[in-house]
Structure 1
Amino acid sequence: MKNKGYTVVELVIVLAVFSLFYFIGVGVIAKDINVNYEDTMYEQKIAAIEEQASIYAKSKDELFKDSDTIYLTVKELADAAAIISNKDGEVLDPRDGKSNLNEVKVKITNIDSKVTAKVLS
């Protein structure tokens, strides 16, 4: 009588090969997802800074007494409580969680009572 099927050794080898491909694939995909997540968080942080800078500038008419365009740093906005910072007064960069955005400049313009803000890279 001839046995049909695979031996246990053959099944273990196939299972090991599939497992190897699975773990390599999951690692690559997880890294891509993490990078996209950090970039998205950074873009959201920049958008929030711009929005809060606009709101802050609208409430402070004296900012535009000399010019229609002003430049503030993120630190200045944090010190004025316009944006949220940590207990040390730093606005952390979400891409790495260690560096800060405090020295990044924000251009705020007031044209015909329309206040806009743009973070300068």
Structure 2
Amino acid sequence: MAIEVNGKTLETDDHGNLTNYLDWDEDVAKALAAAEETMGELTQEHWDVLNYLRKKYIDDNEQPMERAIVKDMGKIWGKKIGSKDLYKLFPLAPSKQGNRIAGLPFVFRKGGY
């Protein structure tokens, strides 16, 4: 599978995740989000989560589970949040849909706790 962004063809796997995370940029994220039926326009909170997920993957070679995302995003946003807050942003699971839109590999694990 592939998507086209700004005249460039980018390969994706069977789950819609980029095969090369280095191909990602904001335009790619917007295109990946637009391909999701459950996503609207990306807000600052979406970008915060996407950038967090990319940083964890690039710096720590880690794709955090939902529990860690909730905890860390609460710190970043300076308020207590729950998983429902993240599911409002990424209805198909923050750790799966979020990783896909962040241009990261598919996460094979189940839940987030």
Normalized against structure 1, the TM-score is what?
0.29
Higher strand share: 1
Normalized against structure 2, the TM-score is what?
0.31
Higher helix share: 1
* Higher CA-based Rg: 1
